[in-house]
A and B are shown apart, each in its own frame.
Chain A
Amino acid sequence: MDHLFAAVVLAALRYWTPLVLAAMGGVLSERAGVINIGLEAMMLGGAFAAISGAQATGNVFLGIAAGVLVGGLIGLLHAALTQALRVPHILSGVGLNLGALGLTTYALRQAEASGTALATPVRLSPEAMAAAAALLVAIVWFVLARTALGLRLRACGENPEAARSAGISVERLRYGAVTASGALAGLGGAALALAGLGAFTENMTAGRGYIALAAVIFGRWNPLGAAGAALFFSLGVAGEITLQTLGMSRIIPPDFLTLLPYVLTLIALAGIAGRSAAPAALGRTD
């Protein structure tokens, strides 16, 4: 039984790492006032770049760097679309998600057609990656809650006019926050690809960006809360996988088991009444 418990926890941590990294990105972006449903694109782009980078260089750290870079660039694009062009945040995010899915799938097909798989033998230790993610949670919390930079960032999310009249360059801070958000989600994608399969597959994030955003809301836009929410969901997934391997799928249809973590999240989200914890200016484009 102890062995089983340890297996569930380890599986949960593996699932948690990419999720919580994207969720930290979500917290940064949304506390600055920019809705980031594009986390999915940033994760997927990060995963793709991480595998390609590691494959090309044979170096896992260069792979990670490529993932962070591409995630950050997609974040920068989201910032430009929402801040400079005033595109509604959801629209920009969904557009990025569709674009990233299309581009990575196309590139994957091209590679397969030419007879090469997007795969690399280099691997990242899942335990080390989970520890790094935990450290990043602490850093994001500290920056937001304890530094002058964090105060300014939160001011941009609550009342950008007030921030502006205090001499703060709201757009510049948001560019920074959303780019950092993309870099974190890109790192999440890199962790997903390099600590797991070691290969890029079509739509390999499979909605994790959306789940990360749900964790942000469930965690009431607090980094620690979002990390806890991501852990809750990860335990659900790990429990489901364990139930499958224990042969429960002979009693309960496997599709229902797969639903389990999502249903848990829905129930948890429904239990959070109102949106009173959301940054007051979240998503405004005026």
Chain B
Amino acid sequence: MAGIIPAMRPDSRGATPSVSLRGISVAFGPVAALDNVDLDLAPGTRHAVVGENGAGKSTLMKVLFGLLRPDSGQVIIGGQPLRFASPRAAIALGIGMVHQHFELIPPFTVAENVVLGAEPGAIGGVLDRKAAEAAVAALAQESGLPIDPAARVEDLSVAAQQRVEILKALYRRARVLILDEPTAVLAPSEARDLWAATARLSEAGSTVVFITHKLDEVIAHADTVTVLRRGRRVLSSPIVETSPAKLAAAMIGESATAAATASRPIPTPPSSSAATEGKGSSAGVLSVRGLTVRERRGEVVVDNVSLDLRGGEILGIAGVDGSGQGELIETLAGLRTADKGKITLMGQDIDAFSVAQRRAAGIGYVPEDRHHRALVLPFSVEENVVLGRHRERLYSSKAGLLKRGTITGFLQERAAAFDVRGATPGTPARALSGGNQQKLVLARELSRKPAVLLASQPTRGLDFAASAFVHDALRAERDRGAAVLVQSLDLAEVLALSDRVAVMLRGKVVAVLKRAEATEAKIGALMTGAGT
């Protein structure tokens, strides 16, 4: 037990080591996740690792942090080849990692989270809370990451939790800091603060390596960049010698560039909003009045929300993570019970409706968590595509037996319509890629031609091509006349899709703007409560 705090030795705070990865290959089964990849990190620099989903970015970082042992290749830190792959060895050599999904313990305080595993004093002895809090406060001050060491992590914003994660690494004397998609969950102003902190760290001699999809971040905040595509390194370059266009070409491959950029989800004002405004008859499909939802602990997560959703429009919800947007959609879908308020669907009061009744009444739902809420991963694709409709006489007999043949036919029709690749009957949903899983979910949810479509973070974790497909499908629903409600943490996505934008902050809808009025700066300010 005592041996696991080598990083606390005062003499280990040496210079930042140089890091070299040589010929790293990792395979998951038959799939090569990394193929002979090199990476060099010079001390005191900021390095960006970019690539599409599945390009191997996270895998490469896991190898560097010792979470994955490469099938071949070497990790060389400070000139010494790393022999045993483990986070403990990596930490001892001054490497720290902030994962995309934070590894914090919500009921613990900030100081407890930071010192955990490297507590001041003896392991069996009394934990000196005061000393721990003082150490964390000093570190926060020194590194420009403001935090209250005595606060409980569960009460903190996502940005503050991220600061705790960085402090955890710094407390262990990390001089090489790995950040996995650090701005994915941050509002623009919070991202600026993070980049300022990383700049200070690199000025002080530390190395910062970050993963991102966002090419503007690479240009603005990195000194050097490595581009991965399908597990191979396709480009390594100082920033001054590259450009967003070159990086994009390297990321998606020369031949695919033209096609992908054409359908890439970039903020473009929706084309058909003028046309759909003409459909006056479809006004007010879903009406929400004074909706208030409490978390189990009694905390208000959706606070007196009123919204009107019209047919033939996409209403986007923008907000920083944890503003109540996810809970709002879950409540509308029937997964949470509202404390107060009224939900009306085409004039019908649906407050008391179960999930199944809401679906039958015309609500389609694309949940945020594909793996837990949208699909049953071990079930076959045909079982998944009929899920929720399996009781309909078309798909099961009166005796309750499933009509296998009809269901398989339904799958084939749906899979063809939504270009779900690999969805041969009998394949478990688990075996599909993320993009194809989401297409399968859409294929199912849109099969009933819902009057209202609820979508929560519909492109989370998807690559450009799959995201573009999902966006096109949502727009097609809008053009068909459906009322579409989309929430996303990616502001660019909200802006690209929406006819109107609602901004949520601490459970409240603080503004509803027409697309033309919704500039990124304006929404960013509303999201963070910085003003109107």
Mask, B94-119, CB within 8 Å of A = 1, is: 00010100011111100011001111
A148 on interface, CB distance cutoff 8 Å: yes
State whether B112 touches A151 (Cβ < 8 A). yes
Query: Which of A92-100, A162-170, A177-185, A191-199 makes up part of the contact surface?
Result: A162-170
B61 on interface, CB distance cutoff 8 Å: no
A245 on interface, CB distance cutoff 8 Å: no
**Given known A147-B126, A148-B124, A151-B112, contact A166–B104 (CB-CB < 8 A):** no
State whether B119 touches A166 (Cβ < 8 A). no
Q: What chain A residues lie within 8 Å of B105 (beta carbons)? A: 154-155, 158-159, 162-163
State whether A158 touches B116 (Cβ < 8 A). no
Q: Which of A149, A167, A280 contacts B87 (CB 8 A)?
A: A167
A88 on interface, CB distance cutoff 8 Å: no
Within 8 A of A (CB), among B426-477: none
- B93 CB to nearest chain A CB (Å): 13
- A143 CB to nearest chain B CB (Å): 8
A58 on interface, CB distance cutoff 8 Å: no
Q: How far is the CA of A103 from the CA of B107 in the complex (A)?
A: 42
Q: Which of A148, A154, A276 contacts B296 (CB 8 A)?
A: A276
State whether B126 touches A146 (Cβ < 8 A). yes
Q: What chain B residues lie within 8 Å of A208 (beta carbons)? A: none
State whether B126 touches A166 (Cβ < 8 A). no
A127 on interface, CB distance cutoff 8 Å: no
B297 on interface, CB distance cutoff 8 Å: yes
- A152 CB to nearest chain B CB (Å): 7
State whether A166 touches B117 (Cβ < 8 A). yes
Q: Which of A151, A166, A168 contacts B168 (CB 8 A)?
A: A166
B516 on interface, CB distance cutoff 8 Å: no
**Given known A165-B103, A167-B87, contact A150–B4 (CB-CB < 8 A):** no
B91 on interface, CB distance cutoff 8 Å: yes
Within 8 A of A (CB), among B158-177: 168, 172
Number of interface residues of A (CB under 8 A): 24
Mask, A268-282, CB within 8 Å of B = 1, is: 000000101000100
Q: What chain B residues lie within 8 Å of A274 (beta carbons)? A: 296
Q: Which of A162, A172, A276 contacts B103 (CB 8 A)?
A: A162
Q: Which of A147, A159, A168 contacts B104 (CB 8 A)?
A: A159
Q: Which of A151, A161, A276, A280 contacts B116 (CB 8 A)?
A: A151
Q: What chain A residues lie within 8 Å of B99 (beta carbons)? A: 165
Q: Which of B88, B97, B126 contacts A167 (CB 8 A)?
A: B88
B123 on interface, CB distance cutoff 8 Å: yes
State whether A159 touches B103 (Cβ < 8 A). yes
State whether B116 touches A150 (Cβ < 8 A). no
State whether A167 touches B124 (Cβ < 8 A). no
Q: What chain B residues lie within 8 Å of A162 (beta carbons)? A: 103-105, 113, 116
Q: What chain B residues lie within 8 Å of A163 (beta carbons)? A: 105, 116-117
B5 on interface, CB distance cutoff 8 Å: yes
B125 on interface, CB distance cutoff 8 Å: yes
State whether B119 touches A164 (Cβ < 8 A). no
Q: How far is the CA of A284 from the CA of B203 in the complex (A)?
A: 43
State whether B107 touches A146 (Cβ < 8 A). no
Q: What chain A residues lie within 8 Å of B103 (beta carbons)? A: 159, 161-162, 165-166
Which label, helix, strand, loop or mixed, suits the secondary structure of the A interface?
A: helix
What residue in chain B is nearest A274 (Cβ atoms)?
A: B296
State whether A276 touches B168 (Cβ < 8 A). no
State whether B104 touches A276 (Cβ < 8 A). no
Q: Which of A146, A147, A167 contacts B117 (CB 8 A)?
A: A167
Q: Which of B87, B108, B168 contacts A164 (CB 8 A)?
A: B87
- A44 CB to nearest chain B CB (Å): 31
Q: How far is the CA of A172 from the CA of B108 in the complex (A)?
A: 21
State whether A168 touches B116 (Cβ < 8 A). yes
Q: Which of B1, B106, B123 contacts A280 (CB 8 A)?
A: B106
What residue in chain A is nearest B124 (Cβ atoms)?
A: A149
Q: What chain A residues lie within 8 Å of B117 (beta carbons)? A: 152, 155, 163, 166-168
State whether B127 touches A150 (Cβ < 8 A). yes
Q: How far is the CA of A280 from the CA of B107 in the complex (A)?
A: 10
Q: How far is the CA of A169 from the CA of B172 in the complex (A)?
A: 17
What residue in chain A is nearest B97 (Cβ atoms)?
A: A165
State whether B118 touches A166 (Cβ < 8 A). yes
- A102 CB to nearest chain B CB (Å): 35
Within 8 A of B (CB), among A129-162: 146-152, 154-155, 158-159, 161-162
What residue in chain B is nearest A142 (Cβ atoms)?
A: B126
State whether B88 touches A148 (Cβ < 8 A). no
Q: What chain A residues lie within 8 Å of B88 (beta carbons)? A: 167
What residue in chain A is nearest B92 (Cβ atoms)?
A: A167
State whether A146 touches B108 (Cβ < 8 A). no
Q: Which of A148, A154, A165, A168 contacts B121 (CB 8 A)?
A: A148
Q: How far is the CA of A154 from the CA of B72 in the complex (A)?
A: 37
Q: How far is the CA of A148 from the CA of B4 in the complex (A)?
A: 13
Q: Which of A146, A147, A159, A167 contacts B5 (CB 8 A)?
A: A167
State whether A167 touches B4 (Cβ < 8 A). yes
B15 on interface, CB distance cutoff 8 Å: no
Q: What chain B residues lie within 8 Å of A150 (beta carbons)? A: 127
Q: How far is the CA of A151 from the CA of B123 in the complex (A)?
A: 10
Q: What chain B residues lie within 8 Å of A280 (beta carbons)? A: 106
Q: How far is the CA of A55 from the CA of B369 in the complex (A)?
A: 60
- A168 CB to nearest chain B CB (Å): 5
State whether B127 touches A147 (Cβ < 8 A). yes
State whether B116 touches A166 (Cβ < 8 A). yes
Q: Which of B5, B107, B296 contacts A158 (CB 8 A)?
A: B107
State whether B4 touches A158 (Cβ < 8 A). no
Q: How far is the CA of A274 from the CA of B296 in the complex (A)?
A: 8
B122 on interface, CB distance cutoff 8 Å: yes
What residue in chain B is nearest A159 (Cβ atoms)?
A: B105
Q: What chain B residues lie within 8 Å of A155 (beta carbons)? A: 105, 108, 116-117
- B363 CB to nearest chain A CB (Å): 28
What residue in chain A is nearest B129 (Cβ atoms)?
A: A146
Q: Which of A146, A151, A167, A172 contacts B91 (CB 8 A)?
A: A167
Q: How far is the CA of A158 from the CA of B98 in the complex (A)?
A: 19
Q: How far is the CA of A159 from the CA of B127 in the complex (A)?
A: 20
What residue in chain B is nearest A156 (Cβ atoms)?
A: B105
Within 8 A of A (CB), among B1-39: 1, 4-5
Q: How far is the CA of A280 from the CA of B105 in the complex (A)?
A: 9
State whether A165 touches B104 (Cβ < 8 A). no
State whether B108 touches A148 (Cβ < 8 A). no
- B30 CB to nearest chain A CB (Å): 24
Q: What chain B residues lie within 8 Å of A147 (beta carbons)? A: 123-127
Q: How far is the CA of A135 from the CA of B122 in the complex (A)?
A: 23
Q: List 11 A-B contacts (CB under 8 A).
A: A146-B126, A148-B121, A148-B124, A149-B123, A155-B108, A155-B117, A159-B103, A159-B104, A162-B105, A162-B113, A168-B4
Closest 9 CB pairs of A and B: A166-B117, A162-B103, A148-B119, A167-B117, A167-B4, A158-B105, A166-B116, A148-B127, A168-B117
With A149-B1, A152-B116, A152-B117 already in contact, 14 other A-B pairs whose C-beta atoms are closer than 8 Å? A146-B127, A147-B126, A148-B121, A148-B125, A148-B127, A151-B116, A151-B119, A154-B105, A159-B104, A159-B105, A159-B106, A162-B113, A165-B87, A167-B4
Interface, chain B (partner A; CB < 8 A): 1, 4-5, 87-88, 91, 97, 99, 103-108, 112-113, 116-119, 121-127, 168, 172, 296-297
